[in-house]
A and B are shown apart, each in its own frame.
Chain A
Amino acid sequence: MEIYIYFFFRGASKFLKYLLCLPLLFIIATKPARSESSKNSPGLHSSKQVNSKTDSVKDDDDRTVSGTVLDESGQGLPGATVRIKGTEKGVTTDKWGSFRLLRPDNNAIVVISFMGYRTQELPLKTRKGFIIRLEAEHNALNDVVIVGYGTQRKKELTGAISSVPKENLNQGVSSVDNLLQGAAPGLQVTQSSGQPGASATVRIRGGNSITAGNEPLYVIDGFPFYNDNTSTQGSVNPNSSAQGLNALATINPSDIESIEVLKDASATAIYGSRGANGVVIITTKKGKKGHNDVSYSVYIGQQQVRKELTLLNGTQFAQLTNDIQTSQGLSPFYTNDQVNSFGAGADWQNAAFRKAPIQNHSISVSGGDDKSAYDISGNYFDQEGILLNSDFKRMSVRANYTRNVSDQFKIGLNTTGSQSYQNGTSGTNIASILYTAPTVPVKNADGSYNTTNPFSATPGNPLQDLLITTNETDAFRVLGNFYGEYEIIPGLKAKVSIGADVINTRQNQFSPSNATSGYATNGIASIGANKVATWVSENTLTYNKILNEHSFNVLVGYTTQTSTGNFNTSASQNFISNISGYNILQGGSVTLIPTSGEYSWTLNSWLARINYSYLHRYNFTITGRADGSSRFGANNKWGYFPSAGFSWNIKEEDFLKNVSAISNLNLRLSAGTTGNQEIGEYQSLVTLSPTNYFFNGTVQTGFAPTSLGNPDLKWEKTAQYDVGVDLGLWDNRVSITADAYYKRTSNLLISVPVQLSSGYAAELENVGSVENKGLEIALNTDNIKSGSFKWKTSANISFNRNKVLSLNGQQSFFAQIPDAYSDPLYKLSPVVIKVGSPLGTIWGYKSAGIIQSGENISQLPTLGTEQAGDRKYVDINKDGVINANDKTDLGSVQPKFTYGFSNTFTYRNFDLFVFFQGSYGNKIYNLLQEELELTNLGQNASSVLLQRWTPTNPSNSIPRASYSPVAQVLDRYMQDGSYLRLKNISLGYNFSPAVAHKILAKQLRVYVSAQNLLTFTHYTGYDPEVNTFGQNNLLQGIDFGAYPSSKTFLAGLNITF
Chain B
Amino acid sequence: MKKIGLFLLVTIAFLSCKKLNEDPKSIIVQDQFYQTSNDAISAVTSVYSALNTDPGGDFPMYGRQLYFMADAATDDETEGNAASNADVRAMGSIAYIANNNRILGNWTQHYRGINWANVAIDKISAMQLDTTLKNRLVRESKFIRALLYFNLVRLFGDVPLVLHQAATISQTTVERTPAEDVYKQIIADLTDAENLPASYSGNDIGRATSGAAKTLLVKIYLTRKDWKNAIAKSLEVINGPYGYGLFGNYADVFNKSTKNGKEHIFSVQFLSNSGASNSRDRIMTDVFSGFGTKIPPDLPADSTLYKSFVSTDTRKAVTYFTSLVNPATGLPFKFKYIGLRKFVDTTQLLTPVESGINFPVLRYADVLLMYAEALNEDQGPTTAAYAAIDQVRERAKVPDITPGLSQSAFRDAVYQERRFEFVQEGQRWFDLVRTGRLVAAVKTVIAKSAVSDKDNLFPIPQAEIDVNPKVTQNPGW
Residues in chain A within 8 A of chain B (CB atoms): 328, 330, 405-406, 408-409, 455-459, 484, 486, 488, 494, 496, 498, 519-521, 537, 539, 558, 560, 562, 590, 592-593, 596-602, 604, 628-631, 634, 637, 681-682, 684-689, 691-706, 708-710, 753-761, 763, 765, 810, 819, 824-825, 827, 863-865, 881, 883-885, 936-939, 963-964, 966-968
Contact = CB atoms under 8 A, between A and B. Distances in A.
A232 B207 CA distance: 43
A260 to B, nearest CB: 27
Given A754-B467, A966-B89, A708 B275 contact: no
Contacts of B160: 755, 757
Interface string B90-123: 1001010101000010011001111110110000
A657 to B, nearest CB: 45
A757 B162 contact: yes
Nearest to A706: B55
B57 interface: yes
Contacts of B259: 697
12 contacts: A457-B291, A688-B33, A689-B55, A692-B52, A701-B45, A703-B39, A704-B50, A704-B55, A757-B107, A759-B162, A938-B292, A964-B84
B136 to A, nearest CB: 13
A694 B269 contact: yes
Nearest to B33: A688
Nearest to A686: B30
Given A681-B24, A705-B116, 7 more contacts: A458-B350, A684-B22, A694-B52, A695-B48, A757-B162, A864-B93, A884-B99
A883 B95 contact: yes
A596 B351 CA distance: 26
Contact of A703 (B15, B33, B81, B471): B33
A710 B26 CA distance: 19
B108 A819 contact: no
Interface string B439-477: 000000001000000000000010110111001000000
A758 B115 contact: yes
B269 A964 contact: no
A326 to B, nearest CB: 14
B295 A937 contact: yes
B173 A755 contact: yes
A45 B273 CA distance: 83
B130 interface: no
Contacts of A757: 107, 111, 114, 159-160, 162, 172, 174, 464
Contacts of B46: 691, 693, 702-704
A824 B85 contact: yes
B1 A456 contact: no
A598 B24 contact: yes
Interface string B7-31: 1100110011111111111111111
Contact of A702 (B43, B114, B172, B294): B43
Contacts of B86: 863, 884, 966, 968
B205 A695 contact: yes
B279 interface: yes
Given A457-B292, A537-B15, A756-B111, A864 B81 contact: yes
A699 B276 contact: yes
B65 interface: no
B467 A759 contact: no
B275 to A, nearest CB: 4
A687 B27 contact: yes
CB-based closest 10 A-B pairs:
A759-B115, A702-B46, A702-B45, A457-B291, A824-B84, A704-B46, A758-B172, A597-B26, A537-B15, A938-B293
Interface string B202-218: 11111100000000000
B48 A693 contact: yes
Contacts of A883: 90, 95, 97
Nearest to A405: B4
B91 to A, nearest CB: 13
A967 B83 CA distance: 10
A941 to B, nearest CB: 12
Which of A601, A758, A938 has the most C-beta atoms of chain B within 10 angstroms of its own C-beta? A758
A691 B30 contact: no
B171 interface: yes
Contacts of A824: 84-85
B27 A755 contact: no
Given A457-B291, A759-B116, A761-B108, A693 B52 contact: yes
A759 B55 contact: no
A486 B172 contact: no
A968 B89 CA distance: 13
B289 A457 contact: yes
A760 B172 contact: yes
A936 B293 CA distance: 7
Contacts of B114: 757, 759
Which of A562, A704, A885 has the most C-beta atoms of chain B within 10 angstroms of its own C-beta? A704
A819 B59 CA distance: 11
Which of A592, A593, A693, A699 has the most C-beta atoms of chain B within 10 angstroms of its own C-beta? A693
B146 to A, nearest CB: 16
Contacts of A604: 17-18, 20
Nearest to B109: A756
B87 to A, nearest CB: 8
Nearest to A407: B1
B270 interface: yes
Contact of B274 (A537, A681, A699): A699
A455 B203 contact: no
Contacts of A637: 20
B122 to A, nearest CB: 12
A884 B293 contact: no
B348 to A, nearest CB: 9
A810 B462 CA distance: 12
Interface in B235-292: 259-260, 269-271, 273-276, 279, 288-289, 291-292
Contacts of A755: 160, 172-174, 464, 467-468, 471
B74 interface: no
Contacts of A519: 328, 350
A486 B461 contact: no
A703 B276 contact: no
B169 interface: yes
Given A498-B15, A966-B82, A456 B293 contact: yes
B382 interface: no
Nearest to B16: A560
A947 to B, nearest CB: 23
B33 A967 contact: no
Contacts of A598: 24-26
B8 to A, nearest CB: 5
Contacts of A881: 95
Contacts of A330: 336
B20 A628 contact: yes
Nearest to A966: B84
A246 B33 CA distance: 38
Given A456-B293, A630-B22, A963-B82, A696 B29 contact: no
B79 interface: yes
B1 A496 contact: no
Contacts of B24: 598-599, 681-682, 685, 687
B28 A694 contact: no
Nearest to A969: B86
Nearest to B15: A537
B19 to A, nearest CB: 7
A967 B81 CA distance: 12
A593 B276 CA distance: 8
A753 B467 contact: yes
Given A496-B8, A884-B86, A694 B206 contact: yes
A702 B49 contact: yes
B53 interface: yes
B463 A704 contact: no
A760 B24 CA distance: 21
B47 interface: yes
Given A599-B26, A696-B205, A560 B49 contact: no
A966 B206 CA distance: 40
